[in-house]
Amino acid sequence: MSDRTKILLLLTPALSIIILLFFGGLFIGLLRSFNYMPIIGLTEPNLNAYFSVFKSKEFYYSFILSFHIAFTSTIISATLAIGAALLLRRNFIGKSIINFLFQLNLTVPHLVGAIGILYLFSQSGSFARLAAEWGMITRTAEFPALVFDPYAIGIILQYVWKEIPFIGVIVLANMQSLGEDYESVARSLGANKWQAFRYVLLPLIFPGVLSASVIVFAFTFGAYEIPAMLGANYPAALPVLAYRKYTDVDLAARPEAMAMAIVIAILSAVMIFFYLRYTRKRIRG
């Protein structure tokens, strides 16, 4: 058997599944967003769904909200993750237990984190109770709205909680494989600590930070259950809005839901482009 046949045979099952399910799902979504569905007699594709989506204020509010959630969460998580990696890269007493605790929430599903944030930050949550204990508030309504709020603070807190270890573990591995020699050279040539970090270490770890951040951005933009649990009713995050449109009793809203799904897909395609551009490490072979 030639290598070509072998490669083809090895790849066919996996590629068929991914092409059929993933790209098939995207493609059907695209067709339906154009109002094209021969099975139910829709044979004339049009752009009506896109017109009505792009004309509705609700879509722009939702898009801006989701962009704000993704952008803010990614920037805060990446910054704190670099800080955490700097703290954890040296040896210290109890390092293995600290590393374990640092990675613990990587395995905890986002939904559990979202409920935890709800129980911590809601107006009758743990922090509100502490505020009452210290006499800062007397009624629950006096505690600032940090969940179901228009600025999506609860959602962002959840993502920051979950993504610090995600980016942090990648950056930490990156720093440990680089070692500290480059910084030592910079220090011996007279750079101060900040300069050694800013001009030597940061450029070296930046590609890793960026590719992890791209994954986080795409995820936080498109995830459903976290804004569904912690978000305000209006405006809702874009994935929540798309889900609501799709499950609306009015079936005519489905193409609009599909159009929103396509918007999310296009944004992730842009993210994949950046990911490939900044990911140095490829599969060897």
Partner 1 sequence: MIEKPTLLSSSFRFITIAMLITWLILPLVPLAIWSFAKGWFFPLILPKYWSLNAWNYALSDTAGVLESLWLTIFISTTATILSIIIGVPAGRALGMYKFKGKEYVELLILAPTIVPGIAVVLGIHSVFLSIGLTNTIPGVILVHLIPTLPYMVLVMAGIFSNFDPDFEAQARSLGASPFKTFYYITLPSILPGIIVGGLFAFLVSWSQYILTLMIGGGRVLTLPLLLFSFATSGRNDITGAIGMIYILPGIIILILTARHLSGRSAVGGFGRI
Within residues 13-42, the interface with partner 1 by CB under 8 A covers: 13-15, 17-19, 21-32, 37, 39
Residues 53-82 that bind partner 1 (CB under 8 A): none
* Dihedral sign computed on CA atoms, order 168, 171, 176, 177: positive
How far is 167 from 74, CA to CA, in rounded Å? 10
Any contact of residue 250 with partner 1 (CB under 8 A)?
no
Phi, psi (deg, nearest 5) at residue 37: -155, 85
Element holding 118 (H helix, E strand):
helix 110-121
**Tokens standing for 179?**
């070692």
Of the chain, the end-to-end C-alpha distance in Å amounts to 20
Member of 151, 206, 243, 278 binding partner 1 (CB under 8 A): 243
Exposed, middle or buried by CB within 10 Å (0-12, 13-18, 19+), for 31? Answer: middle
Residues 103-162 that bind partner 1 (CB under 8 A): 103-113, 115-120, 124-126, 128-130, 132-133, 140, 158, 161
Member of 2, 5, 91, 188 binding partner 1 (CB under 8 A): 188
How far is 51 from 48, CA to CA, in rounded Å? 5
Any contact of residue 194 with partner 1 (CB under 8 A)?
no
Q: How far is the CB of 45 from partner 1 (least distance, A)?
A: 15
Nearest residue (CB) to partner 1, 19 versus 202? 19
Nearest residue (CB) to partner 1, 36 versus 61? 36
Nearest residue (CB) to partner 1, 98 versus 202? 98
